[in-house]
């Protein structure tokens, strides 16, 4: 928590996250209108993921606020048990906004974007913070 990225990185991540949420809404509307269908096992897995994520968020919030202040919210690391469901919904939201022909490129783009974010965060923020000699 003591090494933060520049604010524009958070803005980019927020924008992509909002785009994913918009895609999930789009998918939900298409499913409700029966323009798209899920296999029974897919619907069960997505429902299980939704329940799991909600449980992790609620349990984390209750435990954190019991120990700390009610005005603060727990760090993202407490959501690691729900990382797979969150990532699945994130990718599904982005996927639903793209035409089928472009969807394979989405995987490459997401992986390249995560690699770029990790590399830049390490190279420009984390390594200099700890190895510049200014921080002990």
pLDDT one-digit tens code per residue, 56-90: 989 888 887 777 666 666 677 888 999 999 999 99
pLDDT over 60 at 136, yes or no: no
15 pLDDT band, cuts 50/70/90, is very high
* pLDDT at position 43: 95
pLDDT at residue 73 in the model:
63
- Express as a percent the part of the chain with pLDDT over 90: 63
- Tell me, what's the pLDDT at 81? 92
Q: Comparing 62 with 33, which gets the higher pLDDT?
A: 33
Residue 2: the pLDDT is 78
Rg (CA), the chain: 18
Q: The whole model's pTM is what?
A: 0.81
């Amino acid at each position: 928590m003591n090494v933060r990225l520049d604010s524009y990185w958070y803005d980019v991540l927020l924008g992509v996250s909002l785009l994913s949420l918009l895609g999930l809404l789009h998918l939900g509307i298409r499913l409700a209108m029966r323009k798209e269908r899920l296999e029974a096992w897919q619907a069960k897995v997505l429902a299980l993921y939704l329940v799991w994520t909600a449980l992790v968020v609620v349990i984390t919030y209750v435990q954190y606020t019991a120990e700390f202040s009610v005005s603060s919210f727990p760090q993202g690391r407490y959501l690691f048990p729900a990382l797979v469901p969150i990532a699945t919904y994130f990718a599904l939201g982005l996927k639903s906004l793209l035409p089928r022909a472009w969807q394979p490129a989405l995987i490459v783009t997401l992986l390249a974007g995560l690699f770029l974010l990790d590399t830049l965060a390490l190279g420009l923020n984390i390594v200099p913070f700890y190895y510049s000699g200014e921080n002990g």
